[in-house]
A and B are shown apart, each in its own frame.
Chain A
């Protein structure tokens, strides 16, 4: 009896962030017609077949993908340590730019010409040089990354001692897309204000986090952002006196100050504060009265 077999290829992941990545996509210049990018690539460590070819594609997160640019064969690329390429990506804004890199080989399947992928990278951010390699690339990554999940509420904070906190967003309702791409200042303001309050309240009230490295990283970052490196964060959100528990008003004020600095005063590339965009967007919608009436 004939047996159908398929060949499983190992597909290599090409790194594009952290220390010594295989690929760096750097934003070089923004013009009114598009963006200029610089690409540094070194794929030697992967031992790809020398006949394989490398392609780089730009696509618009809010529109169409472009035809990939050929970057040459592995044989050619591996002759030098680092290869630098420059591309102009037309009709795209920097925040909407996404990229893919493919290493592929021609072949045939059932006598049909195919181009098999043997290495890929999906790039959603421009390369950000880590400030200090010893910090495990901590500074080049978000302190509060987002992920989607099937949850009942629109969002929640996922926290565990010793683990980086995550902002979990309800799947299927577009919140992650809007937050990650800075599309909706109203959602961003409300969600992050609430998330940072919840996160700090946990750090200041749950003793299991006393030695959590992520708590320390958060508090270091807060000190820097508040502009006072000598300032001391409150010890606890709770005052316990003769077995009676009450909230510490100073800690509450500190949490509000941090939320204001981290969220409300967050400035975009044009110098506009998030809270100002929140105000103008809220006023622009302007039909709240009618909506309430309908309810």
Chain B
């Protein structure tokens, strides 16, 4: 099917339908399998197939239901799907993003997931939650960070990974996009093709005490923010910025072949 976007009525219907699904899951004590009933699944299918609630996006390509190993693969697919579209028009077009979400609903709404927040399925412009959207964010990450987005999009498409959440909520992720390359260089295990565990959170609880995780992603962001105040970091090579990092990062640097 060619790329479409909701009409106003279609979008309102989708928002209401998602809220119905959410309420049903809540009524079933958070059990997605029980709450996402056959009736609701049929309503999703009906809304998807009723083209009176959506309209074609002229420059869009064809969508295809398919499986993706992780969010990164989904992001690459979306980036290609939308490559001919006007980027200003699509950037925060919730009617398009939410329609794509509906089209791939089975991919991003799974009984294996732990959260059902509407922000994952209904795009919000709010700075605090806009990156929780399970369809737009993989596109944004691949479009903005390229290969480095593998660090943030390593999980299944219905999961917003902790690396993503911890990174993208900081302004530096937008103002200095090569920070993603630095994070990828340090925290992505290129041999195992997965992020290194234990570094995504800045603080953890140890025996009930809030404890700083040395060399964590949060610490890296602290350091990049600091360098951003004194250096023109855009002009510096990511490897030079990695070299500037303090001792706590030495093990990670060695693991990844940096000085």
Contact = CB atoms under 8 A, between A and B. Distances in A.
Interface of A: 9, 32-34, 55, 57, 59-60, 62-65, 67-68, 90-93, 102, 104, 109-110, 112-117, 174, 177, 183, 284, 286-287
Contacts of A93: 88
Contacts of A110: 244
Nearest to B243: A112
Given A34-B88, A91-B87, A286-B12, A116 B237 contact: no
A33 B87 CA distance: 8
A63 B233 CA distance: 19
The 6 closest A-B pairs by CB, nearest first: A104-B232, A91-B87, A115-B232, A115-B235, A65-B175, A112-B243
Contacts of A34: 88
A111 to B, nearest CB: 9
Interface string B11-41: 0100010010000000000000000000000
A154 to B, nearest CB: 15
B132 to A, nearest CB: 15
B91 A91 contact: yes
B88 A92 contact: yes
Nearest to B173: A64
Most chain A C-beta atoms within 10 Å of own C-beta, residue among B89, B231, B233, B244: B231
A68 B125 CA distance: 26
A114 B231 contact: yes
Contacts of A32: 86, 88-89
Nearest to B143: A64
Mostly, the B contact residues are helix
B128 A174 contact: yes
A60 B174 CA distance: 8
Contact of B92 (A57, A62, A90, A284): A62
Contacts of B230: 9, 116-117
Contacts of A112: 240, 243-244
Q: How large is the interface on B (under 10, 10 to 19, 20 to 34, 35 or more residues)?
A: 20 to 34
Interface string B218-232: 000000000001111
B127 A174 contact: yes
B126 interface: yes
Nearest to A34: B88
A291 to B, nearest CB: 11
B175 A63 contact: no
B23 to A, nearest CB: 10
A62 B130 CA distance: 10
Nearest to B90: A91
B157 to A, nearest CB: 22
Nearest to A31: B88
A116 B232 contact: yes
Nearest to B88: A91
27 contacts: A32-B89, A33-B86, A33-B88, A59-B175, A62-B92, A62-B125, A63-B91, A63-B174, A64-B177, A68-B234, A91-B91, A92-B88, A93-B88, A104-B232, A109-B244, A112-B243, A112-B244, A114-B244, A115-B232, A116-B230, A116-B231, A117-B230, A117-B231, A117-B232, A174-B127, A174-B128, A183-B125
Interface string B115-139: 0000000000111100000000000
Contact of A65 (B176, B229, B236): B176
A161 B164 CA distance: 48
Contacts of A284: 8, 12
Nearest to B227: A114
A75 B212 CA distance: 46
A125 B92 CA distance: 21
Nearest to B242: A112
